[in-house]
Amino acid sequence: MSTTPSRRRLENTAWIRRFCFLVCVLAAPLFAGGCMGRAISEGVGLALGPKGVAVPITPISHAKRDHALARYTMFETEVFANHFGGHLPRGITTHVRPALERALAERHIRSRRGGQTLLIRGQILHYETAALVDNALGPLEEVIARVYFVDKDTGHILGVYNCVGRTTQTVNLGVDKKVEGLAEAIANVIARHYPRP
């Protein structure tokens, strides 16, 4: 069955229109600001979750990747102390332990008998919730803790870090999400100095 030149031209025009429409739909988020940018940011925040950052005060080791924590097979987390001076939400100091256990399990680091114990001790230094005005541009919530990595048998402090759990999307607001970010920061420090399973 042969097609006439006018029919082919019509089919080509339809494909070109579809292609242009598809390009416009895919490119729109790149050029759209405001609400569309915020919607994209929220979607990314939902997928990636809260952020965790650790800043060394006294690093465990100066090497980028080493096995300074290889001898530790047990991990204990003390209840974090409130050094904020202000009111902290109920349970934030006790939420760290289960969140850290989950974050370590995601990195295939689990407590097992037969070795030394690494004690994770911390103090909540700062806690901030998003203000109503901040939500227009994107909320910022964070918890900052000074975290000590301690050999439980000797009491020797192996390293000290300021760890930050931060959320910048509405979908990640709340105490649990900030603590998840804090646990991510602590788990990243441990993973950096722990042999890969």
Instruction: Give the list of residues 6+ apart from residue 153 with CB closer than 8 angstroms, or none.
Output: 116, 117
Query: How many angstroms separate the CA atoms of 68 and 82, rounded?
Result: 29
Task: Tell me how many degrees the CA angle 194-125-86 measures, rounded to the nearest 5.
Answer: 150
Distance of alpha carbon 145 from the chain centroid: 15
pLDDT in the model for residue 89: 80
Token pair in block for residue 193: 């100095």
Instruction: Give the list of residues 6+ apart from residue 189 with CB closer than 8 angstroms, or none.
Output: 54, 60, 147, 149, 159, 161, 163
How are beta strands 51-58 and 141-151 bridged, if at all? unpaired
Q: Which CATH architecture has domain 50-192?
A: 3-Layer(aba) Sandwich (3.40)
Token pair in block for residue 111: 């407590």
Structural domain boundaries in the chain: 5-31, 50-192
Token pair in block for residue 70: 């290889």
pLDDT in the model for residue 127: 82
pTM: 0.72
pLDDT in the model for residue 44: 42
Query: How many angstroms separate the CA atoms of 81 and 96, rounded?
Result: 11
pLDDT in the model for residue 148: 97
Spell out the per-residue pLDDT of the chain, length 197, in tens. 555 655 555 566 666 777 767 776 676 666 555 555 545 444 544 444 577 889 999 999 876 667 889 899 999 999 888 888 877 787 777 888 999 999 999 989 888 888 899 999 999 998 877 664 455 555 667 889 999 999 999 999 999 999 998 876 555 566 778 888 899 999 999 999 988 76
